[in-house]
Amino acid sequence: MSKLDSSISPLDSRYAAKIKPIAKFFSESYLNKTRYEIELMWLIYITKKLPSHFGKLSQGNEKKLLKLVNDFTKLDAKRAKTIEKKTNHDVKAIEYLIREKLNKHPSLKNFKKYIHFGLTSEDINSTSYAQIINNAKDEYLEKILELKKILKSKSSAWKASPFLSRTHGQAASPSTFGKEINVFLSRLDNEIKTLKSVQVKGKWGGATGNFHTLVLIDEKKNWINFIKGFFKFIKTPLNTLTTQIEPHDCIAELSHSIVRINNVLIDMNRDIWMYISNDLFKLKVIKGEVGSSTMPHKVNPIDFENSEGNLELSNALFTFFGDKLSKSRLQRDLSDSTVLRNIGVPFGHSYLAIQSLIKGFSKLEVNKEQSLKELNNNWQILGEAIQTVMKLEGYDDAYEIIKDLTRGELLTENSYKSLINSLEISIKSKSKLLKLTPATYIGLSKSI
């Protein structure tokens, strides 16, 4: 049966190729591979650091174990699932898989009993998910930085391209496309800094987070420092104060951070869609593409629509994760486990949305002719400039005067100039206003 026949999500079929760089982190095989590596690294660590308790690990045997760490194959992934059918426990299946591998090396057989020593399955699971999510976050950040680079380029290219702004949907003081893109860039910068600072943590405290089994080895040893050393060894952040589970506050923080990034991108998608709808942006025609099954002329903003929809799907799930995962009954319940298995889905939708945005921007062009036409059809927007200059000339009621003359009215270039010439203001002020056009009334847009 092919993926087209069996996939319940389009992320696994229609969009699979587009999200491959991030999807690889969330397969069950990758989760088992990560569990497997952490189990073996723990075995190496305790035998090296505590030889009096676990037996001395020779350099030769250490090399054999390190080779096993990097030797998790597709056959191993299948074998783990076969063992799990019997154990009905995924982490225990990995332990038994490692036992089988050690049996193939006579010099390693004596270390079998120390696999998963002093641990509960959640030590392995939480630490595995910490590594997986942190790796996925880095991949996601690479993609968002790729988008940011494109936005920066567009902002620079369009910094002097004026258009008629809309506030409340009505004609308002002009801006430039470059400045508006830069607004989104600035917002993204802030959220990217926040996301970079989030590090998902693992835990290693045993059945209820109190390091019971380790204390049995040696009551006087500083086990917290010992575990910190191990987490430094596996390059993973550690939370030492937990129940049976790591409380997932970091995952909630990461979820909320990506939701805010998604919201910035949704906001941008909607603005771009409106600009396209108002013919201020044009979409390049791609040969062979179809815009409508019945209307041959159409070139649709499908990439921006696809992006918006996927961002909203991502938000729905990340919002749920942020709310759900930070709550647990007493020292643990299992509802977080089944939820956490789906953490890759919102990552996938967000990653896909960014891909669509990148593709959409590659087709986007400013329609300068339409932008200037729209500006020239709305000279009344210069009413703001007129009343400002009049106030500087000493008029207390400048706003009211210009409101009566322009509110709800359309001014042309000629009627605008007639209005300026009729005002009792200085020649200098008249000259300043007469030089002004809707296309040049853009303030500091070029520089900001």
User: Residue 292 catalytic?
Assistant: yes
Is 207's pLDDT higher than 90? yes
Q: How many residues does the chain have?
A: 448
- For 56-113, the pLDDT digits (tens) are 999 999 999 999 999 999 999 999 999 999 999 999 999 999 999 999 999 999 999 9
What average pLDDT does the segment 139-153 reach? 97
Q: What's the pLDDT score for residue 4?
A: 59
Q: What's the pLDDT score for residue 299?
A: 67
Confidence band, pLDDT 50/70/90 cuts, at residue 293: very low
Question: N- to C-terminal Cα distance for the chain?
Answer: 55
- Name the residue ranges covered by the structural domains of the chain: 23-117, 122-366, 378-435
Is 315's pLDDT higher than 90? yes
The span from the CA of 292 to the CA of 443, in Å, is 41
Among the listed residues 292, 362, 418, 422, the single catalytic one is 292
Is 296's pLDDT higher than 80? no
Confidence band, pLDDT 50/70/90 cuts, at residue 195: very high
**Tally of CB atoms within 10 A around 414:** 9
Confidence band, pLDDT 50/70/90 cuts, at residue 167: very high
For residues 242 and 288, which has the higher predicted lDDT (pLDDT)? 242
Q: Which CATH class is domain 23-117?
A: mainly alpha
Confidence band, pLDDT 50/70/90 cuts, at residue 420: very high
Q: What's the pLDDT score for residue 408?
A: 84
Is 289's pLDDT higher than 80? no
Q: What's the pLDDT score for residue 310?
A: 98
- The domain made up of 378-435 is a member of CATH 3.40.50.300: no
- For 325-369, the pLDDT digits (tens) are 999 999 988 888 899 999 999 999 999 999 999 999 999 999 999
Is 291's pLDDT higher than 80? no
Among the listed residues 6, 168, 293, 447, the single catalytic one is 168
**Mean per-residue pLDDT over the chain, rounded:** 93
- The domain made up of 122-366 is a member of CATH 3.10.129.10: no
Is 389's pLDDT higher than 80? yes
pTM over 0.85: yes
Are domains 23-117 and 122-366 of this chain identical in fold? Answer: no
Is 287's pLDDT higher than 70? no
